């Protein structure tokens, strides 16, 4: 039956069995009906889930207080749901963040700290969030970027993972490393007409260990919405919602939007929404005072795009163009989200669909002189989180408690009446959906790895209602290399770290007690867990977004200036594919690959390792 745990609360659906069992209760109800037995107090239909993921979206939205941004549709969703003002990702880079959210486990459990590792290496039997719904009778489907591209998980879905570039990806149900790629007719490209890259510019980038991008960092697109990947994804999602309504089975539809990830490409009408002079510049264009230098980065991803000024910080005029592009890209995505909300209404699904919208992490956007993510600062770890549950009396309200992306898995299970699997690292946010003023559950913890002169460290950043305390701890050890402390109430731009002031040492000691246990990193100091699994022929071998090709060569092959085939293969997981890459890298056919050839080979093929 329907149970309200308190007056005006969220509707709670009867719990199904855990994801390791069968869906018994609906079958029992059906059997009783067939036998002519009257079933009283029948529960309403299981709620559907519309799961919207947005790449690189920081809380630059109207519902988060931005007065310049145009996001009427996300604001419309906020009016029918709960806005979590202090939601934090587990690591501010795509794959680790998405993996933690979809598994309910922190990066130290998934062993995904980079863009190289699949979570099933460390957690081969993990039941993911969509897989849990699938095992409880839901039809689960994914459109565009949900997991990081190249690390798809077929066990999570009832059908191949659809992308707007003309392909769908499944994985073998027994051997997750084997991908099965099929083709479909929707195949759209990002850029319009591409200018031929300047060879001299590419040479300079290769010399710095950069893989040149194929187009500019931003573009005012002459294309129509559906001629771009996100527009095509929205169109496909509308079709899927119609088909799922006809199917009559509860569904979990995951829809990923790429913008506002670089490059900032959006149709002209979205650029025209803004006067560039009204878009504010970064609050601070340098690292905080008394912050360790390694806490930042060199903006390598942005500098890979042709035409981007080489200096840091990025000049103000160019920074304003980039921020204009970011705003235009957000409004483009907002429009596409509106198409999904309209489709739910048109199909009569809105009153029985839980909607969750999340950005996979924040984005620096020039703050601290940094672009993209890859830090432990507030601006990179904080991201939007909106959850709309049908008939919730708290619709339109906001919650200020610190929450984490690992909380999304148990929350969706809880509000949909599914058992919450044991072993998850998060907690259900249902108490906050029922009462945003409920007692705080915990702090939020984000993390990011770094290399320092004293060796590799992991930065653990702990956030409560007021403070952010970041400890840079030796990987595999107990030594704290550096500490940062920010007063987010009085210094929300994080202009100065207070960690060196004696009056804050007691506070820092209290935060230190919340650090995760030592030993969460492989004892041999390697970057990823051993045993990377069998080859994944169809998977993209992505590289960390903050690591250029030159730095990658130096890390994998320290002290080397050139490699024999055997030396190259020693650091590669897929020997056969690596042999082919080696041949391509060996431009002069002398049987060895120099550091320069390794870098240039990466520029020719962005999917190589």
Report the catalytic residues.
94, 148
Nearest to 340 by CA among 266, 227, 423, 231: 231
From the number of C-beta atoms within 10 Å of its C-beta (0-12, 13-18, 19+), residue 323 rates as buried
Encoded tokens for 208: 């710095």
What is residue 12's DSSP assignment?
A: B
Quickly count: other Cβ atoms within 10 Å of residue 143's Cβ. Answer: 23
Encoded tokens for 608: 């190589």
Residue 484 to residue 316: CA distance in whole angstroms: 28
Residue 437 to residue 316: CA distance in whole angstroms: 41
Longest dimension (CA), the chain: 81
Q: Is 268 helix (H, G, I), strand (E, B) or coil?
A: helix
- Does residue 84 contact residue 385 with C-beta atoms inside 8 Å? yes
Nearest to 153 by CA among 95, 93, 106, 107: 95
Helix (H) or strand (E) holding 54: strand 48-54
Q: What is the DSSP string of 144-212?
A: SSSSPTT---GGG-SSPEEETEEEEEEE-SS-TT-EEEEEEEEE--SSSSPPPPPHHHHHHHHHTT---
Nearest to 271 by CA among 207, 354, 328: 328
Q: Which residues contact 155 (CB under 8 A, 6 or more apart)?
A: 128, 131, 171, 173, 176
Q: Which residues contact 479 (CB under 8 A, 6 or more apart)?
A: 473
Quickly count: other Cβ atoms within 10 Å of residue 480's Cβ. Answer: 15
Q: What are phi and psi of 87, to 5 degrees?
A: -105, 135
Q: Which residue has the tokens 């672009």?
A: 371
Residue 577 to residue 535: CA distance in whole angstroms: 8
Q: Which residue has the tokens 């996300």?
A: 74
Encoded tokens for 195: 């200018």
Q: What are phi and psi of 472, to 5 degrees?
A: -95, 100
- Does residue 400 contact residue 440 with C-beta atoms inside 8 Å? no
The β-bridge partners of 266 are 220
Residue 190 to residue 271: CA distance in whole angstroms: 16
CA torsion sign, 327 to 466 to 84 to 426? Answer: positive
Encoded tokens for 462: 């702990």
Encoded tokens for 447: 């993390």
What is residue 357's DSSP assignment?
A: E
Rg of the chain in Å (alpha carbons): 24
Q: Which residue has the tokens 């994804």?
A: 233
Residue 452 to residue 435: CA distance in whole angstroms: 44
């Amino acid at each position: 039956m329907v149970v309200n745990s308190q007056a005006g609360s969220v509707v709670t659906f009867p719990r199904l069995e855990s994801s390791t069992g069968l869906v018994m209760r609906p079958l029992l109800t059906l059997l009783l009906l067939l036998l002519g037995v009257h079933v009283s107090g029948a529960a309403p239909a299981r709620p559907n889930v519309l799961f919207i993921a947005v790449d690189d979206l920081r809380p630059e939205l109207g519902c988060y207080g931005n007065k310049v941004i145009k996001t009427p549709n996300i604001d419309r969703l906020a009016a029918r749901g709960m806005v979590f003002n202090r939601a934090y990702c587990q690591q501010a880079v795509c794959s680790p963040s998405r993996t933690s959210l979809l598994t309910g486990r922190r990066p130290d459990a998934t062993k995904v700290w980079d863009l190289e590792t699949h979570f099933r290496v460390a957690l081969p039997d993990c039941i993911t969030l969509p897989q849990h719904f699938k095992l409880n009778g839901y039809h689960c489907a994914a459109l565009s970027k949900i997991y990081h591209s190249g690390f798809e998980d077929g066990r999570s879905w009832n059908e191949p993972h659809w992308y707007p570039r003309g392909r769908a990806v499944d994985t073998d149900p027994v051997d997750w490393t084997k991908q099965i790629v099929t083709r479909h007719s929707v195949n759209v490209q990002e850029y319009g007409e591409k200018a031929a890259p300047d060879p001299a510019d590419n040479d300079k980038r290769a010399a710095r260990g950069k893989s040149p991008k194929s187009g500019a960092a931003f573009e005012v697109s002459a294309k129509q919405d559906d001629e771009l990947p996100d527009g095509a994804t929205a169109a496909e999602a509308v079709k899927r919602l119609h088909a799922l309504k006809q199917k009559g089975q509860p569904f979990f539809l995951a829809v990923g939007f790429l913008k506002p990830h670089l490059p900032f490409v959006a149709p002209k009408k979205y650029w025209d929404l803004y006067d560039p002079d009204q878009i504010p510049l970064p609050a601070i264009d340098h690292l905080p005072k008394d912050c360790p230098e390694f806490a930042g980065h060199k903006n390598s991803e942005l500098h890979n795009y042709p035409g981007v000024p080489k200096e840091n910080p990025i000049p103000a005029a160019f920074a304003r163009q980039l921020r204009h592009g970011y705003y235009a890209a957000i409004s483009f995505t907002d429009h596409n989200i509106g198409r999904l909300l309209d489709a739910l209404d048109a199909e009569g699904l809105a009153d029985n669909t839980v909607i969750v919208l999340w950005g996979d992490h924040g984005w620096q956007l020039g703050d601290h002189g940094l672009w993209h993510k890859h830090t432990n600062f507030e601006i990179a770890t904080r991201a939007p989180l909106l959850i709309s549950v049908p008939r919730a009396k708290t619709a339109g309200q906001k919650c200020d408690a610190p929450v984490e992306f690992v909380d999304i898995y148990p929350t969706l299970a809880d509000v949909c009446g599914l058992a919450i699997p044991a072993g998850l690292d998060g907690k259900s946010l249902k108490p906050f959906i029922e009462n945003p003023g409920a007692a705080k559950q915990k702090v939020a913890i984000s993390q990011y790895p770094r290399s320092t002169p004293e060796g590799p460290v992991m930065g653990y950043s702990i956030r409560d209602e007021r403070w952010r305390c970041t400890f840079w701890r030796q990987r595999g050890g107990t030594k704290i290399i550096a500490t940062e402390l920010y007063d987010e109430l009085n210094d929300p731009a994080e202009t100065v770290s207070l960690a060196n002031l004696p009056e804050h040492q007691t506070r820092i000691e209290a935060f230190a007690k919340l650090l995760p246990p030592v030993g969460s990193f492989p004892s041999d100091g390697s970057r990823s867990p051993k045993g990377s699994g069998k080859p994944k022929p169809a998977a993209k071998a992505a590289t960390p977004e903050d690591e250029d090709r030159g730095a990658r060569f130096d890390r994998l092959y320290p002290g080397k200036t050139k490699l024999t085939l055997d030396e190259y293969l020693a650091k590669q997981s897929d020997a056969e594919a690596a042999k082919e890459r080696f041949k391509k890298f060996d431009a002069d056919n002398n049987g060895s690959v120099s550091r320069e050839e390794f870098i240039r080979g990466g520029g020719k093929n962005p999917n190589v390792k």
